[in-house]
Amino acid sequence: MMRLFWLTLIALSLSSCFVSSSLLFTEADIQDSKNLLANPGFMSYSLSPSEALKGWSIHIEPQSSGYDKILIDPTVALEGETSLKISASDKDVMLISEPFKVRRYGGYYSRIMLKTDSPNPPQISLKMISFREDGKVTNRFSDKTKLMEGWNRLAVSAGFLRPGVNFGRISIHIPPFAEGSVWIDDAGCWEVHGFKID
Q: What confidence tens digit (pLDDT) does each residue in 19-78 have? A: 444 577 777 777 888 999 999 999 988 766 667 899 999 999 987 677 889 999 999 999
The range of the structural domain enclosing residue 154 comes to: 2-194
**Total domain count for the chain?**
1
For residue 197, the model assigns a pLDDT of 60
The answer to whether the CB of 147 falls within 8 A of the CB of 121 is yes
**Interval 92-98 mean pLDDT:** 96
Which residues are CB-neighbours of 40 under 8 A, at least 6 positions away? 55, 186, 187, 188
Q: What is the identity of the amino acid at 97? A: S
The answer to whether the CB of 155 falls within 8 A of the CB of 113 is no
The answer to whether the CB of 125 falls within 8 A of the CB of 132 is no
Q: Report the candidate in 191, 165, 166, 184 with the shortest Cα–Cα distance to residue 56.
A: 184
Which residues are CB-neighbours of 104 under 8 A, at least 6 positions away? 161, 162, 163, 164, 165
Q: Report the candidate in 172, 179, 138 with the shortest Cα–Cα distance to residue 158.
A: 138
Give me the CATH number covering residue 76: 2.60.120.260
For residue 14, the model assigns a pLDDT of 42
What global pTM score does this model have? 0.83
Q: What is the identity of the amino acid at 22? A: S
